[in-house]
Amino acid sequence: MTWLRLLRAEWTKFLSVRGWAGGVAVAALLILLFPVVGLGGSRDQASPVPIGPDGEPVSDSYYFVSRSLSGDGQITVAVNGLASTLGTPWAKAGLIITAGSEPGARYAAVMVTGGHGVRMQHDYLHDRAGSASARWLRLTRGGDTITGESSVDGRAWSRIDTVRLPGLATTVRAGLFVACPARVQGVGTAADTATAEFGTPRLAGAWSPGEWAGAQVGAHTPGFAGYAPGSPGSFTASGSGFTVAGAGDLAPATRGDVPVGAAAGDLLLGTFPALIVVVVVATLTITTEYRYGLIGGTLSAGPSRGRVLAAKATVLAGVTFAAGLVATVVAIPLWLRLIRGLGIFVFPAPPGVLLRAEVGTAAVLAVVAVFALAVGTVVRRSATAVTTVVVTTVLPYLLALVPFLPPPMAQWLTRFTPVAGLAVQQTVIRYPQVDTVYTPANGYYPLPPWAGLAVLCGYTVLALGLASVLLRRRDA
Amino acid sequence: MTSALISSFVVIAGRMRSALLAEWTKMRTTPGAAWLLVVTVAGIVGLGAAVCAAADHPHDATRLALSGVYLGQASVAVLGVLTVSGEYSTGLIRVTLAAISGRPIVLAAKAVVLAVVVAAAAAPALLVSVLAAKRIGLALADGPVLRAAGGAVGYLVLIALLSLGVAAVVRDSAAAIGTVLGLLYLPPILATMVTDPHLNRLLERIAPITAGPGVLVAWSGGALLAGTLLLRSRDT
């Protein structure tokens, strides 16, 4: 039989069993309709999520000791000490110039951190490392460009970065700031407060006369994790400088910061019920042949046993990919519009990322179907085959979700088991300058999308190889 | 009246005895069953030990030590499903039903043998898991720990019976095991999407993996009852 006729034979078999085509249709429907369970409940939040200049959600909260700067100017300060109650590595203390007081406003800052040395950051997304040991900081404004420098001794300065804040008004607030994100502990976080000892700031340029004013910025934004118990934000002046305690963060917001927010990847949760249905159908396409002895006819009609398996795999992969793609391509835009209409905050994702999640999910369904076909060929018993595939493609994800399991195990499970393929569904971004709970439960996978899919494909290729060897060696 | 009751009871007891013997012989001589029990023990002990080895300062050492149940329940479910659907796929079911009069007796005998076998495999496996968790500060002598381990054995037995009932309803092994595994593994995953707290609590209460013993018994009993009724009303 030619390859095309072989394909047609398998295609006809697939269509002629009503339960199989029906099963794939059910799988697609599950993906399409599943997000409905997420609609209930209240996702109200006290205040809107601040949106940064690049359109991304941000955390914008910190203790600010400020004065007005009307024009060009410079501020220099020594950070003599920085400590936080829980020792958060991204505790920050330094100098900042902000474009405005509304949440999500542009800013540029140079800072000492708890565990990452001196950094210059601006507009939430941008982070540049400076010296690890410097303790003197300087911020210089000229028009809308800001230069950050650091120094070990306050005499020899090295520039970290020069950045532009487009549209910066002439009069801005600038001064000292202290921020401290929540400390990540296992799969949870604990609020933390940082306390910094500053020397007396040296000012040059167009600073308005007046006193330093201290206040917590963004205390009511959703991303503000609060203070460590018993250590509120404060600001005290002494003869030799200021002691400032504060909490919060200036950074892109993650799922951990906006728990009421949804990610587009969440809308694909129907993948799991769909996977189980697809696994059952795919297993049956081979085990049914063994059960009814049809396999003898199939193998004697085809010239090569390997090609019979390949034809089955092609039909299965094609059907599940097509059905899955239709479901995901319809489901994501539809449900995104719907939940945005309900006022639920959704983490933004560019169209390319959404398309990758849609195509990737269809690919995961197709590859798992082929995996199930291969396992079914190897073990020849439906129940054993279905269980093997479900235990390797669904159970590890469940275990990674279970909160009482140690977090390294969750990382391991989503990196080295077939579940790694679900990385294609990640639509949120992992930021190196933000420590948060980067777990699959929050929509973050340890592997990049296509690498994750490659892991799943690797297991499938192995199973397929074993299946074709056994199919050739065994009687049938 | 009483003597008639007693004599019919004696007849049923006699039938039950031979049915039990038949089912025990099948369970003993089917190579798949023994393998599945070995896999169950290995799964429970292996996953439990792996989780305990990865844990540093566990909040709930008992749950960690017993987490092998997540894996062990899958092979227990396969055993439960195959006890019934295995006979359908080979056609043996017709012989079984012809040999033993009273179809509910057949299913009851299967259920008893399955429950005993699963309990006999699960109990030592869970004991070993608890003993292996000594490193993370678990003592076998603790009343709550022992109760939790006993509860896990009961859970696995009820999951096996649930699978048996589902298989008697569905008859096809792939569909039956798909249904059972979906019932076991999907609710905790889907719960992450459910934001309505009432719906979430309801899901937690009725999902077998998180439900209390009463709800679990209802699941298994319901599946067995449906299986019995269908077995009686259907041809085979």
Q: How far is B98 from chain A (nearest CA, A)?
A: 23
Is the pLDDT reported for residue A259 higher than 80? no
More confidently predicted of B192 and B43: B43
Residues A198 and A331 in one domain: no
Distance separating alpha carbons of residues A111 and B127, to the nearest angstrom: 54
| Residue in B with minimal Cα distance to A443 | B192
Residues A104 and A229 in one domain: yes
Residues of A in contact with B86 (CB under 8 A): 383
Q: Do A37 and B193 touch (CB under 8 A)?
A: yes
- Average confidence (pLDDT) over A292-321: 83
Which pLDDT value is given to residue A44? 60
DSSP H helices, chain B, are: 2-29, 31-54, 61-65, 69-90, 92-99, 103-132, 143-170, 173-190, 197-206, 213-233
Residues A326 and A367 in one domain: yes
Q: How far is B5 from chain A (nearest CA, A)?
A: 42
**Which of A252, A274, A301 lies at the terminal end of a domain, its last residue?**
A252
Residue A412: Cβ-neighbour burial (10 angstroms; 0-12, 13-18, 19+): middle
Residues A384 and A452 in one domain: yes
Q: How far is A49 from chain B (nearest CA, A)?
A: 19
Q: Do A398 and B197 touch (CB under 8 A)?
A: no
Interface test with B, best of A44, A185, A388, A398 (most B CBs within 10 A): A398
Is the pLDDT reported for residue B43 higher than 80? yes
Q: pLDDT averaged over chain B?
A: 85
Considering CB atoms only, which of A37, A276, A409 is closest to B194? Answer: A37
Distance separating alpha carbons of residues B73 and B162, to the nearest angstrom: 11
Distance separating alpha carbons of residues A393 and A414, to the nearest angstrom: 10
Q: Which of B204, B149, B66 is nearest to A405 (CA)?
A: B66
Other CB atoms within 10 Å distance of the CB of residue A30 = 20
Domain range holding A273? Answer: 2-42+260-473
* Per-residue pLDDT reduced to its tens digit, A184-193: 887 788 889 9
Residues A437 and A307 in one domain: yes
* CA distances for A40 relative to A30, A43, B187, angstroms: 18, 9, 16
Total residue count of chain B as it appears in this document: 236
Q: pLDDT averaged over chain A?
A: 89
Is the pLDDT reported for residue B195 higher than 80? no
Element containing residue A197 per DSSP (H, E): strand A194-199
Residues A345 and A444 in one domain: yes
**Which of A225, A252, A279 lies at the terminal end of a domain, its last residue?**
A252
Residue A128: Cβ-neighbour burial (10 angstroms; 0-12, 13-18, 19+): middle
Considering CB atoms only, which of B82, B185, B194 is closest to A395? Answer: B185
Within 90-149 of B, beta carbons closer than 8 Å to A belong to none
Other CB atoms within 10 Å distance of the CB of residue A318 = 15
- Average confidence (pLDDT) over A457-469: 94
* Per-residue pLDDT reduced to its tens digit, B132-188: 887 777 776 777 888 888 999 999 999 999 999 999 999 888 999 999 999 999 988
Is the pLDDT reported for residue A476 higher than 70? no
The reply to whether A47 falls in a domain is no
Work out how many domains chain A is built from and give that number: 2
**Which of A199, A223, A252 lies at the terminal end of a domain, its last residue?**
A252
Which pLDDT value is given to residue A40? 66
Predicted confidence band at B107 (pLDDT cuts at 50, 70, 90)? confident
Considering CB atoms only, which of B56, B181, B194 is closest to A38? Answer: B194
Interface test with A, best of B185, B202, B204, B209 (most A CBs within 10 A): B185
Q: How far is A310 from chain B (nearest CA, A)?
A: 22
Residues of B in contact with A425 (CB under 8 A): none
Q: How far is A160 from chain B (nearest CA, A)?
A: 40
AA identity, residue B180: V
Which of A97-106, A218-227, A315-324, A425-434 shows the highest mean pLDDT? A315-324
Residues A294 and A412 in one domain: yes
Is the pLDDT reported for residue A249 higher than 70? yes
Residues 6+ apart with CB under 8 A from A109: A92, A94, A95, A96, A97, A120, A121, A122, A139, A148, A177, A250
- 0.80 surpassed by pTM: yes
CATH (domain of A199)? 2.60.120
Predicted confidence band at B89 (pLDDT cuts at 50, 70, 90)? confident
Residues A64 and A14 in one domain: no
Residues 6+ apart with CB under 8 A from A98: A64, A105, A106, A107, A172, A173, A174
Residues A37 and A66 in one domain: no
Is B55 within 8 Å of A406 (Cβ atoms)? yes
Residues A268 and A332 in one domain: yes
The reply to whether A185 falls in a domain is yes
The reply to whether A15 falls in a domain is yes
Other CB atoms within 10 Å distance of the CB of residue A455 = 19
Q: Do B195 and A391 touch (CB under 8 A)?
A: no
Is the pLDDT reported for residue A164 higher than 90? yes
Residues A70 and A99 in one domain: yes
Considering CB atoms only, which of B82, B176, B178 is closest to A276? Answer: B178
Is the pLDDT reported for residue A17 higher than 80? yes
